[in-house]
Amino acid sequence: MLLRADRHEILCIGQPAHAWVSGQLARAWGNERFGPVVPREEVCLGAEQHDVGMASADLVPTLNPDTGLPRSFVEWPLAEKLAMWRRAPDLLLPQSRYAALLTSLHGHALYAREDPATRGAEIDAFLVAEEERQAELLASTGADPLRVARNQRLLWTWDSLSLALCLDWAPHTLRDVPSAGDPVDVDVAPAGERRVALHPWPFAANEVSVHTEGRLLTGRFASADELRSAWAAAPWVSLEIALAPG
């Protein structure tokens, strides 16, 4: 779950709702400078569904007693997060082996960044298991490893941009974004209320709009029961953000 603060209110955006934005970005992506998305449908599905393993955890939030708010994804215990990442490719496999492969690669990339000297046996075991899964899926699909690596990096880009949009991070920079040539950095700058500007521009259309939704909570909560009661009554709110060339 993502928590977007707005004065005394918190918009709670589920991880799959944030991934939905990633999928919208993927479907709009591509122009002469940044190249096409190939294979389009499989990659867009992976972008849209890469957080599917977290859907059940976001149905009813758990309380972080230190903040009085729902626990965000980064606040979940490591064992729970790794279990969700292990589950996600399994849930996608009946739809698309390629999308399952990209989801496994994305979860792997998140934890492979950590220092091998300090990340611990639990993460090491997760990485090894996902590498074995990826080898099987790569052989099964017959996909080009270089193309898969590029698409994994695209998924990373869309995920990062979705987080920046949902959490209002602008100004923000997307690093090493795949293009038709060498990777480039893409700057994300604020450009008004729920509007950002990107440079260089990576989309086919002259302007792109994405949207998602979440539950709006007000105040802080002293107990899990209090949070659950507020959650049951919390209104749904739509969040729409426009993207334009910088």
Q: What is the pLDDT of residues 81-134, one digit of tens each?
A: 999 999 999 999 999 999 999 999 999 999 999 999 999 999 999 999 999 999
- Determine the Cα–Cα distance for residues 2 and 13; give it in Å rounded to an integer: 5
Into how many domains does the chain fold?
1
Q: Give the number of residues written for the chain.
A: 246
Average pLDDT, the chain: 96
pTM exceeding the 0.95 threshold for the entire prediction: yes
With a CB cutoff of 8 Å and minimum separation 6, the contacts of 5 are none
Q: Which residues pair with 206 in a beta bridge?
A: none
pLDDT of residue 237: 96
Identify the sign of the CA torsion 183, 116, 118, 19.
positive
C-alpha 7: how far from chain center? 24
- Summarize the confidence of residues 17-21 as an average pLDDT: 98
Cα 48–chain centre separation = 8
Tell me what pLDDT residue 60 has: 87
Q: Predicted confidence band at 231 (pLDDT cuts at 50, 70, 90)?
A: very high
Distances (CA, A) of 84 to 51, 58, 113, 142, 191: 8, 12, 18, 26, 35
Structure-block tokens of residue 98? 């390629």
Q: Say if residue 228's pLDDT is above 90.
A: yes
Residue 1, pLDDT > 80, answer yes
B/e letters for 86-117, b = 16+ CB within 10 Å, e = fewer, are bbbbeebbeebbbbbbbbbbbbbbebeeeeee
What is the domain range of residue 20? 2-245
